[in-house]
Chains A and B, each alone.
Chain A
Amino acid sequence: MTVTEQESTSAAPGEALVVLDNVNKWFGDLHVLQDIDVTINRGEVVVVIGPSGSGKSTLCRAINRLETIDKGSISLDGTPLPEEGKELAKLRAEVGMVFQSFNLFAHKTILENVTLGPMKVRKKDKAAAEKRAKELLDRVGIGHQAAKYPAQLSGGQQQRVAIARALAMDPKVMLFDEPTSALDPEMIKEVLDVMVDLAEQGMTMVVVTHEMGFARTAAHRVLFMADGAIVEENTPEEFFTNPQSDRAKDFLGKILKH
């Protein structure tokens, strides 16, 4: 493995929150995650970039076990991920997830989308859950649309609701799986603004994205993945101006040209 080890690349404070130790996964013959060792500290914002098919989404989804792994271990706040069942559900409640395709509950209103988890998982009463949901919706700028259904909102608005839905669980870490890839260009900014805001407030975040601007403004560390392995790991500034590996140079050459 050619991970570029760099001491003190992370400017983020805090102890280890998410630890991936020698994680491996195969889809049939395809080795989609190869010997992944990553530690994400509390309050740190880590951006994962790389060409499609490099395993970055799989890595992100493995952290809350939406993808199982075949070898190695993943732990959250010192607890290894449970196999299945109630324990796993409990752990997932601690991990917020934002999907590329938003995945808002289509049959529930915006407000119900945000209150469902707090009421069913945290057993909050309806009034408390709605009060908190409205605060969060206001924070992401959707407060006045709480009674609508997801299909009545634009993509950017839906994604902001999805962020509010995840935040309503007071997660320890937020995972973003290409949160802006399905959005029209003019809507990308409104979602990124919310994410930058979150990062500034000290949320621990793992962000799979192609948004180099976001990586530069908000990330403490960039992981560059290719063919299932972490090829390079550096600060955003160093990574974008002075990539070490040929794979990273090639990739950056392609995406930064336009």
Chain B
Amino acid sequence: MEAVTENLDLYWSGFLRSLSLIGWSLLGSLALGTVIAGFRVSPIASLRAFGTGWVTIFRNCPLTIVLFFMAFGLPEIGINTSFYVFGITGLVLYTSAFVCEAIRSGINSVDTGQAEAARAIGLTFTQTMSQVVLPQAFRSAVPPLGSVQIAMFKNSAVVGAFGIGGDLYSVGRNLTSAQGLAFIPVLTGVAIGYLIITLSAGALLAVIERKVAIAR
């Protein structure tokens, strides 16, 4: 395991880079997915159609294809930015479809009487969603949202493979290909890095689940 211990500083910086990639994608996909879920249950038919189309595209396209579009398609039409931003954007778009569906399942679990009562006191659609439906929907959406986000954490390695550089995955690749170190110890170190992130996310999720269960 010398390959890992001697390169701990590299691993650490890769870990932080992955963490920031994941953090931004988490916030972005939750926000975007919630908006799209709102579209899908909106009274306006064109918004519903847009939401359905969005989910159909991003849930069914492989992540690598989405990332290819970001990294090589967008520059063709004159949109240029760093691979890091492209990577986050691709991950957000892709994950938002799954977030949307997890939240929509939560929305469907809220009794329709809740929305009716909200509308009956004069709340608009947006107010009904934000004040009454979504706070209750999130509670039952926590477990599926957790799974979606943990899958996204791991998908961030795919973004790393596209060469944003400096993340956990890239550290592993550098150590093996550029420095010629043995695969098994290096990749074990990379795996441990991801496990630290995903396992703590799982533990945090259990805490959140307990919290919202009590508040019910």
Mark A residues whose CB is within 8 Å of B: 64, 66, 84-86, 89-97, 99, 101, 103-107, 116-117, 120-121, 151, 162, 165-166, 169
Contact = CB atoms under 8 A, between A and B. Distances in A.
A103 B117 contact: yes
19 contacts: A64-B120, A66-B116, A85-B124, A89-B122, A97-B117, A99-B113, A99-B116, A101-B111, A103-B114, A104-B117, A105-B114, A105-B131, A107-B135, A107-B139, A116-B121, A121-B122, A121-B123, A151-B216, A169-B121
Given A89-B123, A104-B117, 14 more contacts: A86-B124, A89-B124, A91-B122, A92-B120, A92-B122, A97-B117, A101-B111, A103-B111, A103-B113, A103-B114, A105-B131, A107-B139, A117-B122, A121-B122
Contact of A120 (B113, B120, B127, B216): B127
A92 B116 contact: no
A117 B116 contact: no
Given A106-B136, A106-B216, A116-B131, A90 B113 contact: no
Chain B contact patch, size range: 20 to 34
Given A84-B43, A116-B131, A103 B116 contact: yes
A99 B122 contact: no
Interface of B: 43, 111, 113-114, 116-124, 127, 131-132, 135-136, 139, 215-216
A90 B122 contact: yes
A120 B43 CA distance: 20
Given A84-B43, A106-B136, A107-B216, A117 B121 contact: yes
A66 B114 CA distance: 13
Contact of B113 (A101, A121, A151): A101
Nearest to A151: B216
A249 B127 CA distance: 46
A177 to B, nearest CB: 10
A166 B121 contact: yes
